[in-house]
A and B are shown apart, each in its own frame.
Chain A
Amino acid sequence: MTYFSDSFKEAISLLTTFDQEVYGIILLSLFVSFSSTVIATVMGIPLGLTLGLRSFRGKGIVTRILYTMMSLPPVVVGLAVAIILSRRGALGSFRLLYTPAAMIIAQTVLVTPIVTGIVFNAAKAHGEGIKRVCRTLGGNAVDVIWLLIAELRVNLLIAVVTGFGRAVSEVGAVMIVGGNIKYHTRVMTTYIAMNNGMGNYAKALAMGLVLLGISFLVNTLLYQFGMEVRDEH
């Protein structure tokens, strides 16, 4: 137990005397996960809304595939992306493996189904009603889209935040496609895994606390937004 509290103290001192490397790692983590979340959002929101609102043949199977993809194991995604990006892979000529770009691609694959799935569920539950109201009040197709976004704003935000949380905390995919290269592709989670492996528990713990802090911050924003919506007027 004293061992753990010693580590904790060391973690605190590490946090207060941040060096360049640690800052770089945190910034890269945020950059990679933020980028993949933005891309996933741009694809996932329209896709989720469309899937949720349209009825088409094979919707059942598409739904099940989507739900399965929401819980894709990061290592598997990392592996698949690594194969595609490797020299002999389909996109090998771009030389992306072991770059931040590769990590963004892998996390995008991971996060897009999550954003899509959450938006899909919200659209399935409330979308038809919103669409009808807009139509009966004289709205056109563009009005319908804006109203959907306005009415489902909390769900959309939950989707994005959940996606970001998943991206920033996963280790398997970024480890495989990024390679945890110092000053290049090392992010918070791979730093934690590496330091844990080397027995530097204090360093690992310190970074773990930063990760928790970020997660807390993001969720606080979400909570605030949810409260605002509930309390407004």
Chain B
Amino acid sequence: MNIELINVQKCYGDKCVLEIEALNLDKQQIYGVVGENGAGKSTLLKLIAGLEAPSSGTIAYDGESMSSAVIKRITYVSQTPYLLKRSVFENVAYPLKIRNMSPERCNEKVKNMLAMLQIESLAKRNAQMLSAGETQKVALARALVFEPDVLLLDEPTANIDQDTIELIESVLRNRHGMMTLHISHNRDQVERLCDTVIKLSGGRLVQAAMKGT
């Protein structure tokens, strides 16, 4: 899915925290979203996810406006993910269940997903008792399991150890055909992982360029 932002503004009262004249996001690319604290990175992702409506302007998804069909293909993993009060396995199964997937297929997919992120050992644990890093991994598994077209990640590796970061990066790189917007404060990571860097400052786009151009 390609996404196009045109004259998008997000304001709270008089204060506009995000103003983007034009931004085209191409399917299949991995975007690194960078900028200082309060630059508007999370706001940008929430707007694209349809969690918040822009104060003005339009966001087009393959030329169409946000709809219930579109929202099913986009997912957003927040800076502080909320896991459901059930087991890790059930958390990852949830998006498949609401898509009415058969229990057998659902089980298989969840198992594969947990294996891919090397968190099989957590499957039966109560999701609300996990550490911060474990929580982020489960939230990522839950977002990837239904194969969204657009994956919005808000600092997904902030609490994660180096080995697991490499694992997650390779998982993301191997997902072809999925657009990923990845907020990160880690320059090296952006350099390693992303095709294009979107730099925000004070709510404005200061750069959106393919790496090396």
Binding site for B on A (CB under 8 A): 129-130, 132-140, 143, 147, 150-151, 229-230, 232-233
Complex alpha-carbon distance, A132 and B74, angstroms = 13
Q: Which residues of B contact A132 (CB under 8 A)?
A: 51, 78, 82
Interface centre among A135, A147, A229, A233 (most CB of B within 10 A): A233
Binds A, one of B84-92, B159-167, B172-180, B183-191: B84-92
Which B-chain residue is minimally distant from A153 (CB atoms)? Answer: B85
Given contacts A130-B82, A133-B82, contact A138 B146 (CB under 8 A): yes
Q: Let me know if B124 and A138 touch, CB within 8 A.
A: no
B125 at the interface (CB under 8 A from A): yes
CA distance A102 to B49 in the complex (A): 51
Contact segment of B18-26, B54-62, B93-101, B110-118: B93-101
Whole-angstrom CA separation of A233 from B71 in the bound complex: 31
From B77, B81, B85, B98, contact of A138 by CB (8 A): B98
Contacting pair A233 B51 (CB below 8 A): no
Known A130-B82, A132-B51, A133-B84: A140·B126 in contact at CB below 8 Å: no
Given the interface pairs A232-B126, A233-B124, A233-B125, the reply to whether A137 lies near B82 with Cβ below 8 Å is no
Q: Return 6 A-B CB contacts under 8 Å, by A number.
A: A132-B78, A132-B82, A135-B71, A138-B71, A143-B98, A151-B85
CA distance A107 to B36 in the complex (A): 56
Q: Contact check, A233 vs B87: say whether CB atoms are below 8 A apart.
A: yes
CB atoms of B146 and A137 under 8 A apart:
yes
The 10 closest A-B CB pairs, nearest first, are A138-B72, A137-B95, A233-B87, A136-B76, A129-B82, A233-B126, A143-B98, A133-B82, A136-B75, A139-B98
In contact, B142 and A137 (Cβ under 8 angstroms): yes
Tell me the complex Cα distance, A230–B86, Å: 10
Which of B51, B76, B84 contacts A147 (CB under 8 A)? B84
- Residues from chain B with Cβ under 8 Å of A230 in the complex: 126
> How many angstroms between the C-alpha atoms of A117 and B72 in the bound complex?
33
Cβ B85 vs Cβ A229 within 8 A: yes
Asked if residues A136 and B84 are in contact (CB atoms below 8 Å), the reply is no
**CB-defined contacts of B76 to chain A, threshold 8 Å:** 136
A130: which B residues are within 8 A, CB to CB? 82
Cα distance A150–B72 in the bound complex, in angstroms: 21
In Å, the complex CA distance between A188 and B177 comes to: 69
CB-based nearest A residue for B51: A132
Residues in A whose Cβ lies below 8 Å from that of B94 = 137
Give the chain B neighbours of A137 by CB distance below 8 A: 75, 94-95, 98, 142-143, 146
Instruction: A232 to B129: give the CA distance in the assembly, Å.
Output: 11
Question: Would A233 and B82 count as touching, CB distance under 8 A?
Answer: no
Interface flag for B202 (CB, 8 Å): no
Tell me the nearest residue of chain B to A146, going by C-beta. Answer: B98
Q: How far is the CA of A130 from the CA of B51 in the complex (A)?
A: 12
Tell me whether B68 is interfacial, beta carbon within 8 Å: yes
Residues in A neighbouring B133, C-beta threshold 8 A: none
How long is the Cα–Cα vector from A43 to B76 in the complex, in angstroms? 34
Nearest residue, chain A, Cβ from B123: A233
CB distance from A29 to the nearest CB of B (A): 34
Nearest chain-B residue to A137 (Cβ)? Answer: B95
Given A132-B51, A151-B85, 14 other A-B contacts at CB below 8 A? A133-B84, A134-B98, A135-B50, A135-B71, A136-B78, A137-B142, A137-B146, A138-B75, A138-B98, A138-B99, A138-B146, A150-B85, A232-B87, A233-B86
CA distance A25 to B81 in the complex (A): 51
What chain A residues lie within 8 Å of B72 (beta carbons)?
138
Q: A136 — nearest CB in chain B belongs to which residue? A: B76
Distance of A133 Cα from B126 Cα, bound (Å): 17
Residues of B within 8 A of A138 (CB): 71-73, 75, 95, 98-99, 146
Complex alpha-carbon distance, A160 and B45, angstroms: 39
